[in-house]
């Protein structure tokens, strides 16, 4: 796999975010609340996924004015989303100087066949994945971080758990397969053979593996960490809850102490109401965001 200096500094930033919480924010004030609560980065958005879902229409890259306002408000890294395959939105965000680009299924896809060639950019990319094959295809295209897709804006952790288990199980499986079976496995996964070999040898993804999509409580965040995620994204879960600042601090604490039930209890007390969740199994197929991406 490509491990030149450029790719190493891209993955390097992802390494620095491990064990942290990346929070969706839609303005400078929310960004400051997130930073104050201990977020390691913010995702600058026009609308959080729950509102994108409720309002419908085409969801595009956020306005430059809004992203810039957020970049000026905080000293932590700022991420922003582009539509799947929309490499010009990505060129614009790189020019603006955002620290990480999320090629995201939460926005309306611009290309129904191809993702962005992320190796051509200096700025690192994160991409969503539901299984190992999808994760390795994105890494093959140059993603420096993988996150589960989960089901964004649902406030329901079930899909993130499914995706995390799927990726982790497939990694464990690769580590015990005899070498001669790796080619057929790579064909089955739809993943580049050299990356399949890498994972089989190392027992992990070659880039950090984060969780996203439906995290609403400190317990949700710690569940993802115990299942093998190395950090979490919280989208609608914070600013759609009753007391965002308190919930944000609690989720940060839960990720640091993800393996310590005593501290998790402390983090879970007196949080106010979480966001209202959706039963994902009752969503119509065309309402699912996770099926976007190829």
Partner 1 sequence: MKIGVLAVQGDFAAHGRVLQQLGVPWCEVRHPEQLSEISGLILPGGESTTMLKFLFEEGFLEPLQDFARRGGAFFGTCAGAILLAREVTNPRQPSLGLLDISVQRNAYGRQINSFVDRALSSAFGPPPLEMVYIRAPIITRVGPGVDVLAEHGGHPVLVEQGRCLAATFHPELTEDRRVHQRFLQLVEAASAR
Strand segments, DSSP code E, in 71-190 are 78-83, 100-104, 125-129, 145-148
Among 35, 102, 134, 151, binds partner 1 (CB under 8 A): 35
Instruction: Pick between residue 39 and residue 289 the one whose CB is nearest to partner 1.
Output: 39
Total site size for partner 1, rule CB under 8 A: 34
Among 97, 190, 203, 272, binds partner 1 (CB under 8 A): 97
Which residues fall within 8 angstroms of residue 54, CB to CB, at 6 or more apart? none
**226: exposed, middle or buried (Cβ count in 10 Å: 0-12, 13-18, 19+):** exposed
Is 18 a binding residue for partner 1 by CB under 8 A? The answer is: yes
Instruction: Pick between residue 14 and residue 164 the one whose CB is nearest to partner 1.
Output: 14
Instruction: Pick between residue 109 and residue 218 the one whose CB is nearest to partner 1.
Output: 218
If you search the block for the tokens 């395959």, which residue do you land on? 85
Is 20 a binding residue for partner 1 by CB under 8 A? The answer is: yes
Cβ-based neighbour number of residue 117 at 10 Å = 11
Question: What contacts 24+ positions apart, CB below 8 Å, involve 169-173?
Answer: 170/131, 170/132, 170/133, 171/132, 171/199, 171/203, 171/204, 171/205, 172/203
- In DSSP notation, 79-94 reads EEEEETT-HHHHHHHH
Is 257 a binding residue for partner 1 by CB under 8 A? The answer is: yes
Catalytic residue of the set 10, 18, 65, 81: 81
Is 40 a binding residue for partner 1 by CB under 8 A? The answer is: yes
What is the Cα 146 distance to its own chain's centre? 7
Yes or no: say if 224 and 232 are a contact pair by the CB < 8 Å rule.
yes
Least Cβ distance, residue 17 to partner 1 (angstroms): 8
Among 56, 65, 75, 178, binds partner 1 (CB under 8 A): 75
Among 3, 15, 112, 265, binds partner 1 (CB under 8 A): 15
Least Cβ distance, residue 46 to partner 1 (angstroms): 21
Q: Which stretch binds partner 1 (CB under 8 A): 75-83, 166-174, 274-282, 286-294?
A: 75-83
Instruction: Pick between residue 2 and residue 16 the one whose CB is nearest to partner 1.
Output: 16
Within 105-164, the residues that bind partner 1 by CB under 8 A are 122-124
* CA–CA dist 27, 121 (Å, integer): 26
Give the tokens for residue 34. 């997130």
Yes or no: say if 22 and 39 are a contact pair by the CB < 8 Å rule.
yes
Is 231 a binding residue for partner 1 by CB under 8 A? The answer is: yes
Least Cβ distance, residue 138 to partner 1 (angstroms): 19
Residue 81 annotated to the active site: yes
Q: Which stretch binds partner 1 (CB under 8 A): 69-77, 128-136, 164-172, 173-181?
A: 69-77
Instruction: Pick between residue 69 and residue 99 the one whose CB is nearest to partner 1.
Output: 99
Is 8 a binding residue for partner 1 by CB under 8 A? The answer is: yes
If you search the block for the tokens 């140059």, which residue do you land on? 142
Q: What is the DSSP letter of 211?
A: B
Yes or no: say if 71 and 45 are a contact pair by the CB < 8 Å rule.
no
Give the tokens for residue 9. 């500094």
Give the residue numbers marked as catalytic: 81
Residues that bind partner 1 (CB under 8 A): 5, 8-9, 12-13, 15-20, 35-36, 38-41, 75-77, 94, 97-100, 122-124, 231, 252, 255-257, 260
């Amino acid at each position: 796999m490509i491990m030149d200096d450029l790719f190493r500094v891209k993955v390097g930033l992802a390494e620095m975010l491990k064990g942290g919480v990346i929070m969706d924010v839609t303005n400078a004030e929310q960004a400051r609340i997130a930073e104050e609560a201990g977020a390691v980065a913010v995702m600058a958005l026009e609308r959080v996924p729950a509102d994108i879902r409720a309002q419908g229409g085409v969801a595009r890259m956020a306005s430059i004015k809004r992203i810039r306002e957020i970049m000026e408000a905080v000293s932590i890294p700022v991420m922003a989303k582009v539509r799947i395959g929309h490499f010009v939105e990505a060129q614009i965000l790189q020019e603006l100087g955002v620290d990480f680009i999320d090629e995201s299924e939460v926005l309306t896809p611009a290309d129904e066949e191809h993702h962005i060639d992320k190796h051509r950019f200096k700025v690192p990319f994160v991409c969503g994945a539901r299984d190992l094959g999808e994760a390795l295809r994105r890494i093959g295209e140059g993603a420096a971080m993988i996150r589960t897709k989960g089901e964004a804006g649902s406030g329901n952790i079930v899909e993130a758990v499914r995706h995390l288990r799927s990726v982790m199980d497939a990694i464990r499986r690769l580590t015990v397969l005899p070498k001669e079976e790796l080619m057929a496995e790579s064909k089955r996964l739809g993943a580049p053979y050299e990356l399949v070999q890498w994972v089989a040898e190392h027992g992990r993804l070659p880039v950090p593996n984060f969780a996203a999509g439906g995290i609403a409580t400190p317990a949700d965040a710690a569940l993802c960490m115990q299942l093998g995620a190395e950090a979490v994204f919280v989208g609608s879960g914070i600013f759609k809850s009753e007391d965002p600042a308190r919930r944000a601090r609690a989720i940060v604490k839960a990720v640091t102490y993800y393996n310590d039930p005593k501290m998790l209890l402390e983090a879970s007390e007196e949080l106010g109401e979480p966001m209202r969740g959706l039963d994902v199994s009752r969503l119509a197929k065309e309402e699912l965001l996770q099926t976007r991406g190829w």
